[in-house]
Amino acid sequence: METGKRMLTTAAVAVVCAITVLAAPGTAFAAPTPPPPPAPSASADVAPSKDLEAVRKKLDGLYRAAAVATEEYNAAEEKAKQQSTEIVRLAEKIAKGREKLDELKDRAGAAAASQYRGGGLPPEAHLMLSDDPREFLVGAGRIRQGQHATKGLLGEMKRTQEDLEQYAQDADAQWRKLEAGRKAKAEAQKKIEKQIAAAEKVESELEQEERERLAELERRAAEEAQSAWLNSGVLDGVGAEATEQGRKAVAYATAQIGKPYEWGAEGPKTYDCSGLTSQAWRAGGQGIPRTSQEQWKQLTRVAVAEMRPGDLVIYFDDASHVGMYVGDGAIVHAPRPGRAITIAGAGSMPILGVVRPDPNADETSNGDKADEAHKADKSTKKGDSGEKTDAN
């Protein structure tokens, strides 16, 4: 793999590349070959102190903890949406059930009133008092029908009442879950704010020169991790083309480059890591889970050696971060608070694995190609037949 492909891609070039590639149908999407990194500043040439390295690790830990809490918050938010939808659905069922029960009660009341108007005697008694044998036989049939109808009415009323009780119990359970989810979301928000505040306090206490050296330390650490990842040969042979949906997802994600990170955000002005990937794939026509953990759990896993642009790279053992692969060993992602959406090396963070939102796209594509080939074959045969007819 060329040396240029082992470097990180700048945001501006990435956007131009995305637009250019998408404009050329059938071309494999790949991140552009990045220019050489700028020479480090004079202050960065100074060997980093152990204290500053400790600060870097502390900040990394704080922001990692904030990322974990952010995904907890996102999960609680997603569950709250689902529970609210379920509560609305149950409320509609309860309303319809009550209407049905009222209708059944009206019908039962009408039957009782009819019996009252008949002198309070049951239909069987009226039948026995009849002197006309024919009327007796006809009446016996009607009585049987009436008994069946009454029995059915009472049974339906009972079932409707039971359904209403079950709906009420389900709704109550959903309310309890919703309340628990709200508490979980509030706790996650406190964790996020606490970790971010602590990180910002640490950064605010640094001098400008120290901030520059810290930024250089972070850059070098990411670059070393990326180089080690690439030198392992993990991407040897990787070059699969993006699917149509994948190209759309990558185009959406790269179009957000430069927009700020914000925890819990799903766009359009700000995003967190999983907010970016979930919205990008929605733009590609494929709904996927909201959080990085659920993306890891629910989406199809693929080997790194088989990944293609549009696949999602999941990071850290707890699956608390995600980026979208764009080709040439690079991802687009929303890093952390205080940073903007950018292109980074896919191996610059510990990779947990890779997942694919559109695993069946290849089958669909192959099926379409087979259909086209079949049509072309039939067309050719028709043409041959026509030529023979003309020859005759």
Q: If you write DSSP's letter for every residue of 318-384 in order, what string do you get?
A: TT-EEEEEEETTEEEE--STT-B-EEEETTSS-EEEEEES-TTHHHHHHHHHHHHHHHHHHHHHHHH
Report the percentage of the chain scoring pLDDT > 70. Answer: 66
Highest mean pLDDT (candidates 29-43, 292-306, 375-389): 292-306
Identify the residue with better confidence: 40 or 207.
207
Catalytic residue among 17, 148, 333, 374: 333
Catalytic residue among 126, 148, 321, 374: 321
CA distances from residue 277 to 1, 137, 175, 292, 295 in whole angstroms, order as listed: 27, 76, 30, 9, 10
Q: Which residues contact 92 (CB under 8 A, 6 or more apart)?
A: none
Looking only at the bridges linking them, the beta strands covering 300-302 and 321-327 are unpaired
Cβ–Cβ under 8 Å, residues 326 and 309: yes
Using DSSP's 3-state secondary structure scheme, residue 302 falls into strand
What pLDDT, on the 0 to 100 scale, is given for residue 117? Answer: 55
Catalytic residue among 17, 126, 148, 273: 273
Cβ–Cβ under 8 Å, residues 62 and 202: yes
Q: Which of 16-25, 145-154, 225-234 has the lowest mean pLDDT?
A: 16-25
Cβ–Cβ under 8 Å, residues 278 and 266: yes
Identify the residue with better confidence: 73 or 377.
73
Cβ–Cβ under 8 Å, residues 355 and 299: yes
Distance of alpha carbon 213 from the chain centroid: 38
Angle separating helix axes 50-117 and 133-204, nearest 10 degrees: 160
Is the per-residue pLDDT at 116 higher than 60? Answer: no
Count of Cβ atoms closer than 10 Å to residue 68 Cβ: 21
Q: Which of 138-147, 281-290, 300-309 has the lowest mean pLDDT?
A: 138-147
CA angle centred on 21, ends 19 and 23, rounded to 5°: 70
- For the segment 169-186, the average pLDDT, to the nearest whole number, is 79
Distance of alpha carbon 257 from the chain centroid: 20
Q: Which of 50-54, 295-299, 344-348 has the lowest mean pLDDT?
A: 50-54
273 is catalytic: yes
The band of 139, judged by pLDDT with boundaries at 50, 70 and 90, is low
What pLDDT, on the 0 to 100 scale, is given for residue 115? Answer: 56
Q: Which of 47-56, 209-218, 309-318 has the lowest mean pLDDT?
A: 47-56
What pLDDT, on the 0 to 100 scale, is given for residue 147? Answer: 53
Mean pLDDT, the chain, rounded, equals 74
- For the segment 2-20, the average pLDDT, to the nearest whole number, is 39
136 φ, ψ (degrees, to nearest 5): -60, -45
203's tokens: 């950064």
- For the segment 362-373, the average pLDDT, to the nearest whole number, is 50
Q: Which of 88-102, 187-201, 203-217 has the lowest mean pLDDT?
A: 88-102
Question: d(Cα 198, Cα 66) in Å, to the nearest integer?
Answer: 10
- Biggest CA–CA distance in the chain, Å, is 121
3's tokens: 């040396």
Q: Which of 150-159, 197-206, 299-308 has the lowest mean pLDDT?
A: 150-159
Q: What is the DSSP letter of 312?
A: E
Is the per-residue pLDDT at 326 higher than 90? Answer: yes
333 is catalytic: yes
Question: d(Cα 383, Cα 271) in Å, to the nearest integer?
Answer: 56
Name the pTM for this structure: 0.60
What pLDDT, on the 0 to 100 scale, is given for residue 52? Answer: 78
Domain 7-35+208-359 indexed as CATH 2.60.40.1250:
no
Identify the residue with better confidence: 305 or 382.
305
Is the per-residue pLDDT at 48 higher than 90? Answer: no
**Bridge partners of 302?**
354
